[in-house]
Amino acid sequence: MSGEVTALNARARGWLRHLWDKATTPDDWSSSGTPHEWWDRDSSAPMCAFPRFDLGESSYALPLMCEVTPAWREVYTRIAREFCERHMTFWAAIDALVLIGDDPNVDRYPPEWQIYIPERLRGAYAPPGWIGNGDQRWGLNPDPIAADGNVFFRGFFNLLLSVYAYVSGDTRYHEPFEISGYMDRTFTWTQPELAGFISAQLAARPEGPHCENTKIWPFCVGATGLGLKAYDAVNGTRLHTPFDAWTEFAQQHYMGRDRRGDLEWFAFYYDPIERQAATFPDHVTALAALVTLPYIYPQRPDWGGWLYEASVRKLGWSNPKARINEFIPDPRATSIALLMAHEVGDDVTEARLRDYVEEHCEPRTFG
């Protein structure tokens, strides 16, 4: 990229300024505080409506920007460090620390959440986002890292730490740091210990570790694998190897093809206890595949490329004569499809999606 782009444009510089302001403005992520209101706690509810997702996803631009403007490395390092430090706090792990046991509101979810729950389980099954720490099958895990589930905490955290290591060039988090746990207990980790734990758990569970008890998400396992791949790239290790077995398992069990070989369904998540995949109906199932692609494609471009083409075709987004319909009011899928269209060189779909995003997605500028 650095050979093609030599400067950040005005929009990118505005976004960088926004990231700097978010990262360096003091706020309190402890159990007695509240994050600044600009940390997103609403998008992609109920499963991603926690501020730690904003931490991780806000970091993804930093390595790209650092490639273009390496002289600004100190800026990128400071931003990434502030993100990492917040990810060690109570608010980063709030779901694992306060959503304990069975959900008392299991039969009172709003209609817009029902699509995320398999029909036969509605009214008696916790939705995405309710982690259920303390479930009798696994017990209470006071450490949000050393848990049977909660991979959507540690997997994304390892990816974030690897972003920091890449832009900074140092090994700051190879030294011990403290993670906030249940009842304000603290637990000491290093990134090598964290990455090793993740790799060993993934090797022991080729079906993938779960996030909530007991949901296995291709989205989260994909991010977990990418964190290991990034860690290996920075440190010269080989902890990513178990991810290959998961991709083979996922292609056999978390998706299906029709008689023509096209994508028929893709699991939003899979519950091994209920033996139930949560899927969206008809062509909308492609949204579940699309959201995994920023994580799966860099690791398995063959599978990721096929999923992209199959998904935008199934949704009608690659058809120049069809209207773009989001189906679910969440810009995550359309923005990811735009990113992927650019990455794979799908110029027609990229142009269509870019026009759509410019018209429908806010904000349009930063700075």
pLDDT at 56: 96
Select the more confidently predicted residue: 137 or 288: 288
Instruction: Give 32: exposed, middle or buried? Use CB within 10 Å, 0-12, 13-18, 19+.
Output: exposed
The predicted-structure confidence for 79-130, as pLDDT tens digits, reads as follows: 999 999 999 999 999 999 999 999 999 999 999 999 999 999 999 999 999 9
Pairing of strands 255-257, 263-266: antiparallel
Distance separating alpha carbons of residues 270 and 311, to the nearest angstrom: 19
The predicted-structure confidence for 141-174, as pLDDT tens digits, reads as follows: 999 999 999 999 999 999 999 999 999 999 999 9
pLDDT at 365: 59
pLDDT at 364: 61
The predicted-structure confidence for 271-282, as pLDDT tens digits, reads as follows: 999 999 999 999
pLDDT at 2: 38
The predicted-structure confidence for 22-68, as pLDDT tens digits, reads as follows: 999 999 999 999 999 999 999 999 999 999 999 999 999 999 999 99
Closest CA to 221 of 232, 229, 209: 209
Tell me what the mean pLDDT of segment 194-219 comes to: 96
User: H helices within the chain, ranges in order?
Assistant: 10-24, 51-58, 61-68, 73-86, 94-98, 111-114, 151-168, 191-204, 218-235, 243-253, 286-290, 293-296, 301-315, 331-344, 347-360
* DSSP classification of residue 256: E
pLDDT at 152: 97
Q: How confident is the model at residue 132 (pLDDT cuts 50, 70, 90)?
A: very high
Tell me what the mean pLDDT of segment 328-344 comes to: 94
Percent of all residues in the chain with a pLDDT value above 90, rounded to a whole number: 91
Q: Which residue has the tokens 């304000």?
A: 184
Q: What are phi and psi of 67, to 5 degrees?
A: -65, -35
Residue 308 makes CB contacts below 8 A (sequence gap 6+) with 290, 293, 297, 337, 340, 341, 344, 346
Residue 1 has pLDDT above 90, yes or no: no
Instruction: Give me 345's structure tokens.
Output: 């060189």
The predicted-structure confidence for 227-262, as pLDDT tens digits, reads as follows: 999 999 999 999 999 999 999 999 999 999 999 999
CB contact at 8 A, 113 and 127: yes
Q: How confident is the model at residue 137 (pLDDT cuts 50, 70, 90)?
A: confident
Distance separating alpha carbons of residues 241 and 199, to the nearest angstrom: 8
Distance separating alpha carbons of residues 281 and 292, to the nearest angstrom: 18
pLDDT at 328: 87
Backbone Cα Rg of the chain = 20
Tell me what the mean pLDDT of segment 5-14 comes to: 92
Instruction: Give 1: exposed, middle or buried? Use CB within 10 Å, 0-12, 13-18, 19+.
Output: exposed
Instruction: Give me 146's structure tokens.
Output: 């050393």
Residue 138 has pLDDT above 90, yes or no: no
